């Protein structure tokens, strides 16, 4: 997934919406919490919706049209056993001594490097 650029206000808005959980936050409340105006609050919410981070559900609050903002929940990424099948670490006699910062480590391991290169050539 490509990295999404976010402004400081967008990041703050996301935190506020996240904290609200399933109930969501009214767009008309968000801009007040952010300390901005309704126009800027609306722009922030629209940008976050376009970036696929939140959804905006139309609603009426105190007789005025607004939106309920909620974080879009995504299913956890699936990791397939196929992606690690054949990795030399599973059968390596040095597994218990291998670690980042150790003399035996994944960064300098020829077996692991060779296996990763083979995997990239297969895909």
Decide: 56 and 65 in contact? Cβ < 8 Å: no
- Dihedrals phi, psi of 61, to nearest 5 degrees: -130, 125
Q: Of 121, 119, 123, 102, which Cα lies nearest the Cα of 111?
A: 119
> Interface with ligand SF4 includes 119 (CB under 6 A)?
no
Decide: 51 and 64 in contact? Cβ < 8 Å: no
> Interface with ligand SF4 includes 117 (CB under 6 A)?
no
d(CA 110, CA 80): 24
Structure tokens at 56: 């905006």
> Interface with ligand SF4 includes 84 (CB under 6 A)?
no
Among 112, 118, 122, 123, binds ligand SF4 (CB under 6 A): 112
Among 95, 114, 117, 118, binds ligand SF4 (CB under 6 A): 95
Q: Which of residues 41-80 bind ligand SF4 (CB under 6 A)?
A: none
CA dihedral 115, 120, 122, 123 (to 10 degrees): 140
Among 104, 114, 117, 118, binds ligand SF4 (CB under 6 A): 104
Instruction: Please identify, using beta-carbon distances, which residue of 16 and 87 lies nearer to ligand SF4.
Output: 87
Among 6, 94, 116, 119, binds ligand SF4 (CB under 6 A): 94
The span of 3-11, 20-28, 73-81, 93-101 binding ligand SF4 (CB under 6 A) equals 93-101
């Amino acid at each position: 997934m490509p990295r999404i650029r976010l402004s400081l206000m967008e990041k703050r808005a996301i935190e506020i919406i996240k904290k609200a959980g399933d109930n969501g936050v009214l767009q008309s409340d968000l801009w007040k919490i952010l300390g901005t105006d309704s126009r800027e609050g609306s722009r922030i919410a629209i940008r976050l919706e376009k970036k696929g981070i939140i959804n905006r559900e139309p609603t009426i609050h105190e007789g005025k049209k607004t939106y309920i903002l909620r974080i879009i929940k995504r299913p956890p990424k699936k990791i397939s056993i196929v992606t690690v099948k054949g990795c030399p670490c599973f059968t390596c006699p040095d597994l218990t001594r291998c670690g980042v910062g150790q003399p035996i480590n994944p960064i300098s391991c020829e077996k692991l490097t060779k296996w990763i290169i083979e995997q990239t050539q297969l895909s």
